[in-house]
Amino acid sequence: MSNPKEAIKENSMIIQKEMLGNLFTELSTAKENGKKVVYTFVPGNLTELILALDMLPVYPEINALQSGMRKKSGSYIKDAEKMGFSEDVCTYVKCDIGMMLSGNIGPTGEKLPDPDLLLLSYTGCFTFLKWFENLERLYPGVEIAMLHTPYQEDGTITQDQVNYMVKQLKEDVIPKMEKVAGKKLDYDRLSKMLENSAKAEDLWVKVLQTAKNRPSPIDSYFAGVYYMGPLFTAFRGSEKAVEYYQELYNEVTERLKQGLLPVTPEGEMKEERFRLVVEGPPNWTNFREFWKIFYDMGAVIVASTYTKVGGVYDQGFRHEPDKPLESLAKYCMGCYTNLNLPQRVDLLEYYIKEYKADGFLINSIKSCNSFSAGQLLMMREIEQRCGVPVGFIESDLVDPRYFSYANIKNRLESYFQMLGQRKVIMAQEEAQV
């Protein structure tokens, strides 16, 4: 592999970097400024509630993936394994624990503050429960609030389930948050934040749907992980998030008008040879090398399930200002990891057909059961329903020991070769007709 060039960044990415930098600076001074800190997770997060109470969120899995991108996760994982964590445990957990044991230094080089509240809005990933048990041991005496989210076993959200969650919010979660914050929740302020959330969600969906065009002006997987950041983490509900997504949408529509392809770390793609739908999270320790394999082959990801981990907004959900608690409940239940297997397959089929994909690819994550369970069944179903070539590669979230560049590159090159041959055959058959 050649040495990577300095990454080329779009304007929206620069804006987002500034937003994140300001957040981490605010976190580094939180204790001296009297700000309360909430540790929580991305899927089914209650960011609007946190911000409405003037608290600051920290997302352990975001810390882990950033550690992976900064090449620090390997040593953190080994530190956790020395403590007794199994090799089979989610590497996000081990990286996060190792990072905390090493001083809990964030991506800006500043120490992250200890939590005042552990807020778990459990959404489809059982590991989160065990993760929080370990965080409780690391921070004894910290306040804990848990919102239990019913699994969409039958593929629907019932009124009883919504009522069950609203009851938890009213009677347990919000009172604990108010206790830590030292103030009562202002419901008018919360509603205003949910209004901002809906505006940002509208813009986010418009951005995603530009990939229906040929060529697509965006990559919905690799670039998509940057695009989804403000909405899925610390900024949903804020005016900053709306401003960011308006800027992103303006940027993408301008690219669309000019017929431009996605921007990669090495510049703009020159050719769209293959359109793919991808299932599963990316690998973070070798993110740029992983992405480069795709754009070197002219492969654009037009839709992905990972960019729905914090909400499947393109299927119609929006936060509702006039029904704040009911809206938060439905949001938690509608995240991708809370969908059952038939729902996930239906969603993938929709993406392949709606976005006119040439193929379907799974990146199976060794230590993430929440995504990896059922993926072989997904492959068979998609192959039968859509008739597109399917591919399967394996890596891990943040453990560099489970990313084999040569193996993944060989598999992908074989897969792209198969896609290319199929396109030639289809073109010949069309010419004969």
Cβ(278)–Cβ(221) below 8 Å: yes
Q: Using the predicted structure, report yes or no on whether residue 82 has a pLDDT greater than 90.
A: yes
**pLDDT at residue number 366:** 87
Cβ(293)–Cβ(301) below 8 Å: no
Cβ(358)–Cβ(423) below 8 Å: yes
Angle (deg, nearest 10), helices 127-138 and 91-101: 10
Pairing mode of beta strands 267-268, 263-264? antiparallel
Asked whether the bond before 215 is cis by omega within 30 degrees of 0, the reply is yes
CA 174, distance to chain mean position in Å, is 25
User: Average per-residue pLDDT in the chain?
Assistant: 93
Average pLDDT over residues 28-42: 94
> What is the tens place of the pLDDT at every residue in 241-272?
999 999 999 999 999 999 999 999 999 999 99
Lowest mean pLDDT among 12-21, 272-281, 404-413: 12-21
Burial of 154 (0-12, 13-18, 19+ CB in 10 A): exposed
Lowest mean pLDDT among 27-31, 411-415, 427-431: 427-431
Give bridge partners of residue 362 from the DSSP assignment.
279, 392
> What is the tens place of the pLDDT at every residue in 158-211?
999 999 999 999 999 999 999 999 999 999 999 999 999 999 999 999 999 999
> What is the tens place of the pLDDT at every residue in 385-406?
999 999 999 999 999 999 999 9
Share of the chain above pLDDT 70, in %: 97
Q: Using the predicted structure, report yes or no on whether residue 25 has a pLDDT greater than 70.
A: yes
**pLDDT at residue number 9:** 64
**pLDDT at residue number 156:** 93
Task: Label residue 6 by pLDDT band (50, 70, 90).
Answer: low
- Does 364 or 4 have the greater pLDDT score? 364
Identity at 244, one-letter amino acid code? Y
**pLDDT at residue number 430:** 78
Domain boundaries, the chain: 11-432
> What is the tens place of the pLDDT at every residue in 340-359?
999 999 999 999 999 999 99
Q: Using the predicted structure, report yes or no on whether residue 7 has a pLDDT greater than 60.
A: no
**pLDDT at residue number 3:** 47
> What is the tens place of the pLDDT at every residue in 99-115?
999 999 987 788 999 99
Cβ(300)–Cβ(419) below 8 Å: no
Task: Label residue 370 by pLDDT band (50, 70, 90).
Answer: confident
Give bridge partners of residue 390 from the DSSP assignment.
360
Cβ(245)–Cβ(230) below 8 Å: yes
Cβ(199)–Cβ(213) below 8 Å: no
Lowest mean pLDDT among 104-113, 145-154, 210-219: 104-113
Q: Using the predicted structure, report yes or no on whether residue 314 has a pLDDT greater than 50.
A: yes
Cβ(255)–Cβ(338) below 8 Å: no
